[in-house]
Amino acid sequence: MGRYLDADKHKIVSDAVAAAELTTSGEIVTVLADRSDGYTDVVLLWAAAAAFTAMSLFALFPLPFLELWDSLIGGWSHEWTTGELASMTIALGLIAFVLVWAVQLYEPLKFALIPAPVRTSRVHQQAIKHFKVGAERRTHGRTGILIYLSMREHRAEIVADEPIAEKVSADVWGNAMSDMLVEIRKGCIAEGLTAGVRDVGEVLSEHFPRAEDDENELPDRLIEV
């Protein structure tokens, strides 16, 4: 996987985090991910479904398959035994499994075949994991918040520490998400993250204003994984 942003773009996001935290005791962590999961289970599920479908069609409509096979071996009809029919059924299932598994090696098709609710769920789960590692309960006032962007799934998440979540409902982050995605849809990833950071900072400054003795407890840098 190549990096999405160069050093200059990383600096744009890091500077935005530093600027946003000047007015709040909140600590903003940004994570840019290529993907949130490998989706091996989904790939295997599609391949297994294709295998089952192929075997079921052969069981229901065997003649077209058998006539095709006869034509491939010279056009002579063949008296199929029970064992041969069973072997043909298994062979069709294996062929379908391998073909569908192989075509999903093409990444755009693979992600197109992943149901939207599955993508949303996996992105949310991964955002929670990054939050627990990088932000949760790692500040004095438990004011950490994570902005997580997953490129392959075209999904973003904002996850906040408990004191923030108690004062700011999830709906409030909608504007930050909208502003962020407007830029990202144009291919401006750094600018999108910057917009999200700015909006999150404005919300945090209302509820968690910066104290005189406030210290920067979490790194401002963008984490790209």
pLDDT at 139 over 80: no
55: tokens are 């075997």
Domain residue ranges in the chain? 7-37+116-224, 40-112
User: What's the average model confidence in pLDDT over 119-138?
Assistant: 85
pLDDT per residue over 35-94, tens digit each? Answer: 999 999 999 999 999 999 998 988 888 777 766 666 665 555 566 677 777 887 888 899
pLDDT at 144 over 80: yes
Mean pLDDT is lowest, of 103-117, 134-148, 162-176, 180-194, for 134-148
User: Domain 7-37+116-224 - what CATH class?
Assistant: alpha beta
Burial per residue of 169-202, b for 16 or more beta-carbon CB atoms within 10 angstroms, e otherwise: eeebbeebbebbbebbeeeebbbbbbbbbbbbbe
Helix (H, G, I), strand (E, B) or coil at 24: strand
pLDDT band at 151 (very low <50, low <70, confident <90, very high): very high
